[in-house]
Amino acid sequence: MSLVDILSADRTVSRRTFIKGVIAAGATASSATYLFRSPAMARAQGAPGAVERLVTLNVNGQQRRVDVLPQETLGMTLRYKLGLTGTKFGCDRAECGACSVLLDGVPHYACSLLTHQVRDRQIITIEGLASPGGDLHPVQQAVYDEAGFQCAFCAPGFIMAMVGALQVNPNPTREEMAQALSGNLCRCADYDKILTSAMRAAEYTRLQA
Amino acid sequence: MSDDRLIGTNHVPKDLIAKITGRARYAEDFRAEGMVFAKILSSPVPSGRVRRLDASAALDMEGVLGIITADDVPEVSGNAEPILTNRPLYQGQPIAAVAAVDETTAAEAVERIQLDIQRLPFALDPLDSLIEGGPDGRDEGNVFQDGEVSRLKWSQAEMDRFEGEAFPEDLPVTDEWSIGDLDAAFAASDLTIEEGIVFQSQTHHPLESRSALAYWRNGRVHIHCSTQSVSQTRRAFAGTLEMDEEDVVVVGEYCGGAFGSKIRGSLTDLIPAYLSRKVGRPVMLRVTRDEETAFGRARPGFQGWIKLGIRSDGKVLAVDSLVIQDNGPFGRSGDMAMVGNVMSLAYQPEAMRHRATPVYTNTPPRAAQRAPGGLQAGAMVEPLLDRAAEELGLDRLDVMKINAPRGRARFGPNQNELTSAFVPEAVDRIRELFRWDEKKEWNGRTNGSKVTGVGVGYAPFVGGSSGFDGLMVVRPDGKLYIHQGIGNLGTHSMLDTARAANDVLNHPWEETEVVWGDTGKGLPWSSTQSGSQTTHAHTRANHATATLLKERLQEIAAMDLGGSPADYDVGGGRVFRVGSPGTGLSFAQAAARAMELGSAFDGHELAEDLDPMTVHAVERIAGQGLVAAAKDNYSHDGSTWSSVITACVVEVDRETGVIDLQEIVSVTDCGTVLNPRSLAAQVHGGVIQGMSSALLERWAFDTRWGANSNRRFYTAKPITILDVPSRPLEFAALDMADPETPVGARGIGEPPVGAGAAALVSAVNNALGQHVNRTPITPDKVVALLEGARPGYRRMQTHV
């Protein structure tokens, strides 16, 4: 079963079956391996089926060329191939939001996007918010001014979600802000301060506009 | 002195920019040249014996570098937990680990290992093990008593008493203590309350899993891990690896949450260390969320009884408690002892008996979880005082105040004294801040299907140790470098405690660098970041060290500029003559002089009472400036505890059982406040975590196969941003200094958890006009209660 077949099936394929299926097909891999096979091994197996491709991704305003496997998630590509470790894996299963990035300005879970699917989209990660000169994005500045977050493992995901939310609704109530951020977990339970930071972020965003 | 003290002021933690720009590196963010990847073969059964493990097919795979099994790691004895095992005692326990060039290959290699494992009887519920003929969680027995694993069984008659309707006076237990005359105290009571109590086990589930990277270089091992404490982790790892501390480098700059599950790192952090040594490559072990449920630690659950004897004015005269602890397979969790101490302290009874037994089960291993024993006390016992207040016709806060510890209150089997407590003042403050007298009238008020409940709860917990070291150096650049062996788990204590030094030296925070996270940089011996002890321990250590540094500055000034050291003062980055501030030396000049003078000025001569780790840390920086290293030898007379009282308003929907948090207010007695905003975060965060436990968190085991179905956040969802009130949380700190510590500050991380749970349970009880004594209070339980099915003392159908 090829990747195309899998993706166009009526979604009855489980994630586990999918990944195993691709492994069985002998997927090739790129050089900076993490999860996937080294090129030498793949060649030795004369792998049929899914093929790696060199793609161009638009990440943080830059064009990045990278080898990407069909089953590779955006989170994997960002963290393990592009050196952008700010995006975190909390669960790798779309249950916590720590891996949130912006795709054309809309928050998405990077653990649950295939990199191949997002080749033509504008991807912004936490590393792409501050200016090249180091000036913080208004949302980051707001978090700083309120000393938001504790262990901060959830912070990059929350901040990206805030940026995305404020692009849609720059003048939210505190309840609306909570709704917009409901895709992100904070185990330290810093939610009260995170919301206060987010409301200040809204204020700074409006001022900047 | 000056009004510019840093202690008591907000500051933005210096590491926040790194955190919010993605530059902060947690364990899994590190890379090493030639790094390979590990995957764990874990036990599929809750109790088993490996008869055969054949890894040949795995090792034959291209790209597989090697495997480690129990033979490759130290053997353990008694009830200690091994790193790898052939006798797994819980489902998910690591049996072996494989290293390969990529994770997929490692995972496939694990699948190819032929594992013949004999399935053995297992125990999930302590009561299933305690009953005569029931399975034992360990080979040697089912309980821990007098320093060893042994066997304790109850007859059916004894079990019937435990599971019956009345408080069981007499049952065999492993641990017991008592004070005072219990019979007399109950005889003098006007009201006796007996309740079965249960608290659920719950996984720590920090958002960052405990991934770890290890490599060896020139005989030294470097371990990047997620840990609460840095210096103490280094010592623990060195002990297990049987190496000199000097040859163990721990990097733990940021820890993405732990709550007690990573106090000295994790056992699994050593899996990549052993694998790396064997295969000769750096090894990265990425731990999945499923694995976090299996070996990421959990809080022990309790089943038991409480009997309270209360006088007509609300004073608790007698406490008789019995706790059966679900201990997991290893060690003995301190929760069962701590819950007794907490009750003893919180209620100050004239007489008390506390009985407890730790029972081994084949469930995930336990560790202290934020307020071990304290959260349980808050959720299980505090609400009983609500019942007492109601039956005696008293105001709940009056009952809280009459019992509250004050001054050098005593507690526990040895009746130890506190250093201080100002809890009655905290009761007065919450009454005022929350407007208790007005809001308690809202109880039972309906709004359609919803009913309002107003509740309050009190929780104390430990908050301070002493006797640790500080290390700081003024370098020729004129800056003050404070070395902290403290871990960075998000409480900000790593930075807040450094400011105690700034106040002694009257030194600007902007001219201060905090050095932390990498033992290779020379970090002193520190406390663990657990038990809320760091704020107390390290304000003291930094105060002592800064005091020594100040003396050295004064000595140098006197030497160079004349007079005696007492003629000089320190401030603003200078040491200067009192009354003639133009005469003096800058910190930069003093540093240069120290390097010329050597000996006790630049770290080449040290006090004799420093911990060896501190001595070695100084060796790294000796000669590089004005160096001061000192041990906290300040007196510490008494046991240091802090308290939180939380009040809340909830709305319970009687049709759906959903509980809506509307308002939460807390007051804390934790000594001098270091950083108001960080303190608020600890209080509010802890309160919400406590409410999360009381509302949501539990396990559900398949009793046939011993499998835990709460493997990930989907099935173990902690409280979310939608659950917290939209109205911002409020708090106040008494800010009354503890007299037994120079900076006056006590710890705060843990007391809020019990207070939050207690307040929540209290509010729900008051809303429903019923008595919920079993958490988590999930919607189905509320609905069942309202329909008259009262959960009580009986054995549950499913182990949760």
pLDDT at residue number A36: 56
- Write out pLDDT tens, residues B733-759: 999 999 999 999 999 999 999 999 999
Residue A133 lies in a domain: no
Question: Do B438 and B481 sit in the same domain of this protein?
Answer: no
Residue B289 lies in a domain: no
Residue B26 to residue A153, Cβ atoms within 8 A:
yes
Question: Do B562 and B652 sit in the same domain of this protein?
Answer: no
The CA distance from B430 to the nearest CA of chain A, in Å, is 20
Closest partner CB to A33 (pick from B101, B489, B686): B101
Reported as type and span, the H/E element at residue B66 is strand B64-68
Question: Do A124 and A142 sit in the same domain of this protein?
Answer: no
Closest partner CB to B721 (pick from A41, A159, A191): A191
pLDDT at residue number B795: 53
> A-contacting residues of B 42-101, CB under 8 Å?
62-63, 101
Assign B793 a pLDDT band (cuts: 50, 70, 90): very low
Q: Which residue has the tokens 């046991």?
A: B639
Q: How many CA atoms, within 13 angstroms, populate the side-chain half-sphere of residue B382?
A: 37
Among B95, B120, B145, identify where a domain stops.
Answer: B120
Among A81, A108, A128, identify where a domain stops.
Answer: A128
Assign A17 a pLDDT band (cuts: 50, 70, 90): low
Question: Do A48 and A145 sit in the same domain of this protein?
Answer: no
Residue B242 lies in a domain: no
Assess B729–A contact: CB distance below 8 Å, yes or no: yes
Residue B486 lies in a domain: yes
Assess B104–A contact: CB distance below 8 Å, yes or no: yes
ipTM: 0.96
CATH number at residue A41: 3.10.20.30
Give chain B positions within 8 Å (CB) of A23: 104, 108
Assign B787 a pLDDT band (cuts: 50, 70, 90): confident
The CA distance from B622 to the nearest CA of chain A, in Å, is 33
Residue A164 lies in a domain: yes
Question: Do B692 and B702 sit in the same domain of this protein?
Answer: yes
Assign B628 a pLDDT band (cuts: 50, 70, 90): very high
A10: pLDDT strictly greater than 70: no
Q: B384 vs B158, B194, B312, B348, B349, CA distance in Å?
A: 25, 9, 15, 15, 15
Q: Which residues pair with B97 in a beta bridge?
A: B40, B68
For B133, counting Cβ atoms within 10 Å of its Cβ (0-12 exposed, 13-18 middle, 19+ buried), the class is exposed
Among B574, B597, B631, identify where a domain stops.
Answer: B631
The CA distance from B619 to A76, in Å, is: 41
- Write out pLDDT tens, residues B321-333: 999 999 999 999 9
Question: Do A120 and A143 sit in the same domain of this protein?
Answer: no
Question: Do B436 and B522 sit in the same domain of this protein?
Answer: no
> B-contacting residues of A 111-170, CB under 8 Å?
125-127, 129-130, 136, 140, 143-145, 147-156, 159
Assign A20 a pLDDT band (cuts: 50, 70, 90): low
Question: Do B108 and B49 sit in the same domain of this protein?
Answer: yes
Domain residues for B570? Answer: 465-631
Question: Do A66 and A156 sit in the same domain of this protein?
Answer: no
Taking residues B645-650, what's their average pLDDT?
98
pLDDT at residue number A14: 57
Question: Do B694 and B777 sit in the same domain of this protein?
Answer: yes
Q: Is the pTM of this model over 0.90?
A: yes
Question: Do A116 and A193 sit in the same domain of this protein?
Answer: no
CB B444, CB B595: distance < 8 Å: no
Among A104, A128, A152, identify where a domain stops.
Answer: A128
Question: Do B369 and B482 sit in the same domain of this protein?
Answer: no
Question: Do B483 and B621 sit in the same domain of this protein?
Answer: yes
Question: Do A94 and A155 sit in the same domain of this protein?
Answer: no
Among B120, B137, B158, identify where a domain stops.
Answer: B120
Question: Do A12 and A37 sit in the same domain of this protein?
Answer: yes
Residue in A31, A53, A49 with CA at minimum distance from that of residue A41: A31
A39: pLDDT strictly greater than 70: no
Question: Do A107 and A181 sit in the same domain of this protein?
Answer: no
Domain residues for A98? Answer: 3-128
CATH number at residue B539: 3.30.365.10
Q: Output the six-digit token pair for B738.
A: 């503890």
**Total structural domains within chain B:** 3
Question: What backbone phi and psi angles, to 5 degrees, belong to A83?
Answer: 70, 20
Q: How confident is the prediction for chain B on average, in pLDDT?
A: 96
Q: B253 vs A80, B19, B343, B487, B754, CA distance in Å?
A: 20, 11, 37, 7, 29
Taking residues B266-295, what's their average pLDDT?
97
Question: Do B660 and B763 sit in the same domain of this protein?
Answer: yes
Taking residues B782-797, what's their average pLDDT?
67
A67: pLDDT strictly greater than 90: yes
Q: B3 vs B8, B386, B506, CA distance in Å?
A: 11, 44, 10
Q: Hey, what amino acid is at B393?
A: G
Q: Which residues pair with B40 in a beta bridge?
A: B97
B727: pLDDT strictly greater than 70: yes
Residue B21 lies in a domain: no
Question: Do B611 and B719 sit in the same domain of this protein?
Answer: no
The CA distance from B345 to B24, in Å, is: 41
- Write out pLDDT tens, residues B583-623: 999 999 999 999 999 999 999 999 999 999 999 999 999 99
- Write out pLDDT tens, residues B374-426: 999 999 999 999 999 999 999 999 999 999 999 999 999 999 999 999 999 99
Residue B569 lies in a domain: yes
Give chain B positions within 8 Å (CB) of A145: 12
Question: Do B459 and B479 sit in the same domain of this protein?
Answer: no
Residue in B161, B110, B785, B59 with CA at minimum distance from that of residue B453: B785
Question: Do A199 and A112 sit in the same domain of this protein?
Answer: no
Q: Which residue of chain B comes nearest to A137, CA vs CA? A: B21
Query: Is residue B528 classed as helix, strand or coil in its secondary structure?
Result: coil
Among A90, A105, A128, identify where a domain stops.
Answer: A128
Question: Do A75 and A100 sit in the same domain of this protein?
Answer: yes
Q: Output the six-digit token pair for A172.
A: 């939210």
**Total structural domains within chain A:** 2
Question: Do B384 and B426 sit in the same domain of this protein?
Answer: yes
Q: Hey, what amino acid is at B668?
A: T
Taking residues B472-485, what's their average pLDDT?
98
CATH number at residue A162: 1.10.150.120
Question: Do A116 and A54 sit in the same domain of this protein?
Answer: yes
Question: Do A122 and A170 sit in the same domain of this protein?
Answer: no
Residue B265 lies in a domain: no
The CA distance from B88 to B68, in Å, is: 16
Q: Which residue of chain B comes nearest to A134, CA vs CA? A: B21
Residue B171 lies in a domain: no
pLDDT at residue number A37: 54
CATH number at residue B61: 3.90.1170.50
Percent of chain B whose predicted confidence (pLDDT) is above 90? 93
DSSP A30: -
